[in-house]
Structure 1
């Protein structure tokens, strides 16, 4: 990919302990009722238009900065593992425990990650698929549920009762890569989990911006960024800070993971 930057590689699933943990619900009543009518069928959007360079959107540009960023995973040469910018990142949503207003917040977060990376996300609708728990592994493809090809990214609004990994956490994310014919590692799918009970408390307290910051943070992991220390960056590991605007370091890292190579043979 030719980025040639030395950064810290994070080789494991990253769980973000956001400020939302301070507002944990006392019981399940704060989460919304399970979404009715969620099915395995998805309603596809119109496919994005391809540019002359093969990308679906212009490549991102970020100003030079001394603010830090890290990558979730890197290749042997230090380049970040990234998504194919010539294919959309399709996603489905399980909104079973989504509080009121959560879907609008997700839309805002997706728009912000698209703008910063030049990657294109496509909403493929609702699903009743549950994120993997414990030692379970989500398959990269699931023809019985989603047809041929890679499974769409799964975005779940859930809680610690459904997934104990969310106990004390506001969200988590894990992308999955495969090796392309070019021998580059390329992300092909993944999943994001958001703690619906935490989000419900924050929204009720008028702190929807904090929920937006958590969702942006988890989408940052999904597209390939790791944690940093400064609390003014969305990708901070400070559990008491949830910025909802990208910092300069965030933007620099997101620009780099957004300039991966097209991989037509993957």
Structure 2
């Protein structure tokens, strides 16, 4: 594995508390919020794809709004992952994959497959599910990140499955979810979810220094994606910018 780029971002770009000077300047038209976010961050996790299909033209427009080098990750449809038998999700997976997100072109980052906190690890079912995730779509290479949120996934068999398919296991900075820090792919994916409202940058100086060091460590094995998600969501853009400043 070779060293890679570090991209830092947030979840989505339309959030009322970010307006009026908190992140977006006072008076900035909402139609220009993505453009602004693209100038101050280096990645965004698209959440809308979790709830429903998007138009191919929307993906093309989003790609055009951000600069070269920026990446969007996509949260896979809940209809693919929120089911009793994962291997039965082929139709939902196909529907998700064919909505036109390859129109993001070189702005396309990893696809995030997030599983419910109640979902237990079943090796056979999970292996069959992973077999449904292709390496490419419409001629575009795909990267897959797996966010598991039940302690049963602390299993060498799960790590082996992910590694055998070059899929990243998401590192979750969260009180209730397992923190699995295993290199299973030629990229890494972290979701930092402990931002606090009483800190202007969500995480304090020492914590941000630690995450900068950790991001550099992850990037030694390939591209690293670090997203500030949930927690005190109003602080996440400031947290992302503070981390980018340290990495630069």
Same fold (TM over 0.5): no
* Greater RCO (CA < 8 Å, at least 6 residues apart): 1
Structure (1 or 2) with the greater helix fraction? 2
Q: TM-score, normalised by structure 2?
A: 0.29
Q: TM-score, normalised by structure 1?
A: 0.28
